[in-house]
Amino acid sequence: MALVYSPEYLEHNTPNHPESPDRLTKIMEGLDEADLTDNIPIFNPYMAKEEDLVRVHTADHVEKIRKFCERGGGCLDFDTYASPQSYEIAKLAAGGGIKASELVLGRFNTAYALIRPPGHHATRERAMGFCLFNNLAVALEHARKVRKVKRFAIFDFDVHYGNGTAHIFYNDPDVLYISIHQDPHTIFPSEGFLEDMGGGEGKGSNLNIPLSPGSGTSDYIYILERILRPVFKDFNADFYFFDVGFDSHQDDPLSSMRLDDDFFEWMDIEILNQSRPRVLTLEGGYDLDALKRCNLKMINVLKEETIEHSQISLEMSEVREETKYILQRIEDNFSPFYRF
């Protein structure tokens, strides 16, 4: 595996904000303490060009972010902040996804882009939810237009629905977007319901798994074991993207979910069970100690390419009835498209 990282990401300065430079500092601290920075190749990101950005975003949106930062930055909305350097750093974040994609189209099986600002809430024409540009979407369109990759699968396990990514590819039959997230009735961005299944030729390519607050590792494993493998198999993508969020962790201050550290090791093994190429992009996670521990767990699994699950016991008694009901509804809604 390979990592993509630059200390320049710390220059996206967000004072008194949960999406802070400390997030990446803490992750890199954990890798240093485990001597992994000497054992895993770390690559500098590309700087995304305007032509990369406008494959996804409107030219007006790109120009708005550039001018806003040139004028000194500030609050773009109630929770999205940009500093004077943020336009350039956001291009570097989008370019980190491109760099990771190029690495896995070369000699690496997996690449993990440790980037910020995050991206999955950014729509074609709007920055929101801490996100300026949609890093994953920019990387995907580069792989499609420049490297001629045809078919993509995205799995987003941030606690928040990636509304920007979903909107951008909602009508696209060649991009499967699966998201597991906290029930949107209870959390930002109040989108991502079971009935949002994709539109037009893309009907069936947007699959949402909204879980109730308090859902834990047993709920996640129960439902993902029954959805990811059959859906990925039927869709038969050429390229896999994973939007990695750690804000469903039980220690995270911005959510009400109950995942423990072991889930992220389990999730990594599921990632490795998909064929290459595989790219991971960092999204949320705001408890610094949990972010450090869980990233270290994930990166160790990716490095070793261990594909056997450790002894994580799935206690069926701990699986909520709401989770079983959601699975049944997903199977009913998507049975015309996938064989569960």
**Side-chain-facing half-sphere of 32: CA atoms under 13 Å:** 6
Residues 280, 111 contacting (CB under 8 angstroms): yes
Would you tell me how many other CB atoms lie within 10 Å of the CB of residue 183? Answer: 18
Amino acid residing at 25: T
- Contacts with 121 (C-beta within 8 Å, 6 or more apart), sequence order: 128, 129, 130, 131, 160, 162, 163, 164, 189
Residue with tokens 């069936």: 204
Mode of pairing for the β-strands spanning 81-82 and 110-113: unpaired
**Side-chain-facing half-sphere of 197: CA atoms under 13 Å:** 16
Segment (H or E) for 175: strand 175-182
17 classed as catalytic: no
Amino acid residing at 222: Y
Exposed, middle or buried: residue 317 (CB in 10 Å: 0-12, 13-18, 19+)?
Answer: exposed
Report how far residue 87's alpha carbon sits from residue 43's, in angstroms, rounded to the nearest whole number. Answer: 21
**Side-chain-facing half-sphere of 101: CA atoms under 13 Å:** 29
Buried b (16+ CB within 10 A) or exposed e, 269-282: bbbbebeebbbbbb
Residue with tokens 């291009």: 91
Per the residue annotation, which of 120, 121, 160, 167 is the catalytic one?
121
Just list the catalytic residues. 121
